[in-house]
Amino acid sequence: MSAIRRFSRPFIGQRLARRIVACAMSAGAVTALTFAPVAPSLAAQATQATQAAQSRQTADTTAWTLDRLMSALAQHKSGRAAFTETKYLAIASQPIESSGELVFVAPDHLEKNTLVPKPEHLVVDGDMLTVERNQHKYTLALARYPELGAFIESIRATLTGNRPVLEQTYQVALTGSGENWTLTLTPRDSRMLKAVSAITLEGTGDALLSVAIQQAGGDHSLMRLRPLPASAAN
């Protein structure tokens, strides 16, 4: 009996030891399986955070600003575009449409050549406007016609990328991105505000695509531009 007891105790101890080791190994395996996914998840989060920071930094350096827009527009010293203009007037039962070509040569030469419905040729050089209509020719000072002057100056200053002149005449607000931007101009001069409440220009990159004029009395117009190929502008 004593021999059996002496044998049994170590045997029981060994079996118990093996069970403890097995449990410990099982626990370790469970622990490893439980925490194994955590390390990749943390790494992924760190990667995402780094990418987000890089994206923010890139966005900061490539943000579409008024200076960038003016710089892009100023690269072109001349250009020509086909236009279609629609005017909505209180005195007209239907919108009035016209079409033709718009020509610009920096720094201050602008031509609006209307072909339809009736031929009309407007030429602006500096502060003087020349109008040819019905075989008659007139030369006028833009200062006498604030509505027309606002329209012309908004296009000239925008196309030349002349921010100081633009901001001297208007309160300027830019929204959007380089692919699709909107420039809203509000006249600073109270007399001009009596004729024009806002001018909105839209474009993409260095191309002006439309000019909308909101008059103080409620009338408004929209001119859509389609840049012509360089060969056609020469």
The maximal CA–CA distance of the chain, rounded, in angstroms, is 138
Tell me the three state secondary structure of residue 68. Answer: helix
pLDDT grade for 184, boundaries at 50, 70 and 90: very high
Structure tokens at 47: 């990667």
Record the pTM.
0.69
**Cβ pair 234, 78 in contact under 8 A:** no
Structure tokens at 5: 């007891």
Amino acid found at 202 = E
**Cβ pair 160, 106 in contact under 8 A:** yes
Tell me the three state secondary structure of residue 47. Answer: helix
User: Residue 137, class by beta-carbon neighbours within 10 Å (0-12 exposed, 13-18 middle, 19+ buried)?
Assistant: exposed
170-177: strand order across its sheet: 136-141, 128-133, 120-125, 109-116, 96-105, 78-88, 220-227, 207-215, 196-204, 180-187, 170-177
Task: Give pLDDT, residue 137.
Answer: 94
**Residue 170 belongs to what H/E stretch?**
strand 170-177
pLDDT grade for 53, boundaries at 50, 70 and 90: low
Tell me the three state secondary structure of residue 179. Answer: coil
Task: Give pLDDT, residue 72.
Answer: 92
- Write out pLDDT tens, residues 29-52: 333 333 344 455 566 666 666 666
Q: Which CATH number does the domain 66-233 belong to among 2.60.120.330, 3.40.50.720, 2.60.40.10, 2.50.20.10?
A: 2.50.20.10
pLDDT grade for 86, boundaries at 50, 70 and 90: very high
**Cβ pair 146, 192 in contact under 8 A:** yes
Is the per-residue pLDDT at 123 higher than 60?
A: yes
